[in-house]
């Protein structure tokens, strides 16, 4: 153990010895000096030159593994900020709360827009469903009218042929059949009229379709009455006016067929509105997706009203207080965490001796040059072109009093060299100088100044002041003085 002494402590015995020796003959002086030398029992050790590690001392600064300066992503007033400098925080812990009233209002507005968009989808789907049903009904009705008109045309043509040929037994029979067919058509038209009236009352068809159905019923009724008259004519015989009437019936029936076919084409053309309704549904669904995305964005923005710690650590600086206005990019607090590392610079000539995972002792001046254990965790591959040096990071373990920003010295082994190692307990320091007691050939302890180097365990390097084979006092130094005789024990 190194000791600190004062000059008076080890020089206090010298004046009396010098006074006694004054005025005596040389022989008397020698005998009296020998007789007056005190004897002290102390442990000694012969120093030897032996190969020892050669070190390069890399200096650097202690920095944290993680460092984050938190800021706001929105402009808002600071409501509260809990931790102070030096307080420990956990990952996810709320650090700063901002005024979120405007952000919450944006969320509510986005919710309302989403609700409106969902209603729009429902309305579009209802309209498309009604359009589909109405279109199918119109097409079916138009096709039925075509069938009915074609049947009436066939009947009219048959009556015309009968009128031309004159009444026969077969014609009378055909006239009767025509009456039956016209009655059937009139019944079908009446049924269609009733069904159309119900659909119009339900709102599924336009009122125009009822007018068309009424017209078709009226035509069917007229055709029935015409068939009845034709049957009477067939019974009575053909007259010129009957022939003209039959011809007119054919013309009317052909016109009815053309009109019915045009109605089918019109109904099929109207069915194209179904595609328009489907496009409206897709547009409404897109609006729903857009509103949902806007709501999600508003919620994320509202979450920015609370600033949380990204990792476990310590608050090292606080920039704002409650009532301050937080703006995007403005720092709020700085947090450090993840352990401490020494960032040291080493020259390229030493870089080849540094390996990942290598253990390196690190002395920290602020802790009284206390040595802690360091481990190389990173070697920055790109060096400084001007100084030809590289940055090496060492993870530090041990002392909890270490702080980021402290100065540290890392002793990196770069080889071996002949060195004299002495026990650290053999030395002490006085006013910046280091001393040891060297035992000469007569067994007398003599004070000597030495220059010390690196310490390795309980031994320390003697750079100068000692030579190979000399004996030094390593124990009971409190009792040893310069000039005393040392008796080994």
What pLDDT score does 237 carry? 57
pLDDT digits (tens, 9 = 90+) for 48-57: 888 877 778 8
How large is the average pLDDT for residues 315-332? Answer: 89
Which residue(s) pair with 418 in the sheet? Answer: 51
What pLDDT score does 171 carry? 64
| Residue 480 φ/ψ region, left for φ over 0, alpha for ψ in the -120 to 50 degree band, beta for the rest | beta
pLDDT of 8 > 60? The answer is no
- How far, CA to CA in Å, does 93 sit from each of 65, 82, 83, 165, 223? 19, 10, 10, 107, 90
DSSP state of 386: T
- How far, CA to CA in Å, does 439 sit from each of 13, 413, 448, 462? 18, 33, 10, 16
Of residues 143, 227, 230, the one with CA closest to residue 186: 227
pLDDT of 18 > 60? The answer is no
Q: Which residues contact 157 (CB under 8 A, 6 or more apart)?
A: 250, 253
More confident residue, 399 or 47: 47
What pLDDT score does 163 carry? 67
- Alpha-carbon span 228 to 175, nearest angstrom: 8
Confidence of residue 165 (pLDDT cuts 50, 70, 90): low
More confident residue, 61 or 5: 61
Confidence of residue 11 (pLDDT cuts 50, 70, 90): very low
pLDDT digits (tens, 9 = 90+) for 420-430: 888 888 898 88
pLDDT of 248 > 50? The answer is yes
Radius of gyration, alpha carbons of the chain: 58
**Whole-model pTM above 0.85?**
no
- Alpha-carbon span 244 to 234, nearest angstrom: 14
pLDDT of 454 > 80? The answer is no
How large is the average pLDDT for residues 20-36? Answer: 40
pLDDT of 406 > 70? The answer is yes
Of residues 111, 115, 79, the one with CA closest to residue 299: 111
How large is the average pLDDT for residues 376-396? Answer: 91
pLDDT of 461 > 50? The answer is yes
Confidence of residue 103 (pLDDT cuts 50, 70, 90): confident
Lowest mean pLDDT of 65-79, 250-264, 322-336, name the range: 250-264
Please report the domains of the chain, with CATH numbers, ordered by start residue. 3-63+335-487 (2.40.30.170), 108-284 (1.10.287)
- Alpha-carbon span 439 to 484, nearest angstrom: 9
What pLDDT score does 185 carry? 86
Instruction: Answer for the pair 335, 70: CB distance below 8 angstroms, yes or no.
Output: yes
What pLDDT score does 371 carry? 83
pLDDT of 68 > 80? The answer is yes
Please report which residue ranges of 323-404 form alpha helices under DSSP H.
348-351
Percent of the chain surpassing pLDDT 70: 87
pLDDT averaged over every residue in the chain: 81
- Residue by residue, DSSP assigns 207-261 as HHHHHHHHHHHHHHHHHHHHHHHHHHHHHH---HHHHHHHHHHHHHHHHHHHHHH
Confidence of residue 264 (pLDDT cuts 50, 70, 90): confident
pLDDT digits (tens, 9 = 90+) for 342-354: 999 999 888 888 9
What pLDDT score does 438 carry? 93
Confidence of residue 137 (pLDDT cuts 50, 70, 90): confident
């Amino acid at each position: 153990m190194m000791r600190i002494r004062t000059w008076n402590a080890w020089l206090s015995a010298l004046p009396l010895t010098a006074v006694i020796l004054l005025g005596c003959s040389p022989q008397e002086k020698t005998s009296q000096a020998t007789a007056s030398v005190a004897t002290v029992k102390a442990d000694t050790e012969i120093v030897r030159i032996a190969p020892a590690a050669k070190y390069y001392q890399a200096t650097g600064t202690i920095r944290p593994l993680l460092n984050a300066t938190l800021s706001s992503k929105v402009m808002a007033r600071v409501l509260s900020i809990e931790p102070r400098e030096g307080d420990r925080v956990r990952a996810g812990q709320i650090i700063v709360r901002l005024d979120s009233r405007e952000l919450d209002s944006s969320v509510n507005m986005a919710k309302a827009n989403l609700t409106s968009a969902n209603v729009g989808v429902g309305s579009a789907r209802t309209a498309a469903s009604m359009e589909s049903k109405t279109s199918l009904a119109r097409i079916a009705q138009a096709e039925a009218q075509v069938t009915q008109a074609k049947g009436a045309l066939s009947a009219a043509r048959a009556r015309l042929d009968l009128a031309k040929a004159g009444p026969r037994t077969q014609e009378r029979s055909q006239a009767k059949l025509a009456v039956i067919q016209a009655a059937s058509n009139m019944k079908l038209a009446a049924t269609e009229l009733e069904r159309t009236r119900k659909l119009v009352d339900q709102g599924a068809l336009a009122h125009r379709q009822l007018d068309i159905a009424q017209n078709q019923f009226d035509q069917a009724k007229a055709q029935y009455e015409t068939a009845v008259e034709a049957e009477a004519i067939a019974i009575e015989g053909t007259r010129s006016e009957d022939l003209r009437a039959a011809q007119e019936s054919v013309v009317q029936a052909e016109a009815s067929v053309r009109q019915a076919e045009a109605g089918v084409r019109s109904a099929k053309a109207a069915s194209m509105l179904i595609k328009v309704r489907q496009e409206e549904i897709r547009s409404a669904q897109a609006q729903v997706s857009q509103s949902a995305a806007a709501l999600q964005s508003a919620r994320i923005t509202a979450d920015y009203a609370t600033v949380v710690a990204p990792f476990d650590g310590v608050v090292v600086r606080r920039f704002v207080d409650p009532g301050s206005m937080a703006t995007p990019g403005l720092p709020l607090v700085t947090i450090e965490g993840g352990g401490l590392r020494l960032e040291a610079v080493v020259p390229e000539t030493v870089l080849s001796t540094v390996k990942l995972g290598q253990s390196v002792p690190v002395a920290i001046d602020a802790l009284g040059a206390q040595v802690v254990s360091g481990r190389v965790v990173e070697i920055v591959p790109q060096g400084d072109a001007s100084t030809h040096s590289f940055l090496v990071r060492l993870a530090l373990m041990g002392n909890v009093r270490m702080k980021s920003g402290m100065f540290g010295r890392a002793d990196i082994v770069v080889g071996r060299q002949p060195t004299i190692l002495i026990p650290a307990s053999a030395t002490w320091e006085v006013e910046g100088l280091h001393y040891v007691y060297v035992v000469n050939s007569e067994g007398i302890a003599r004070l000597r100044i030495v220059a010390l180097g690196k310490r390795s365990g309980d031994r320390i390097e003697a750079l100068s002041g000692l030579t190979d084979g000399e004996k030094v006092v390593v124990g009971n130094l409190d009792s040893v003085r310069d000039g005393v005789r040392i008796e080994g024990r």
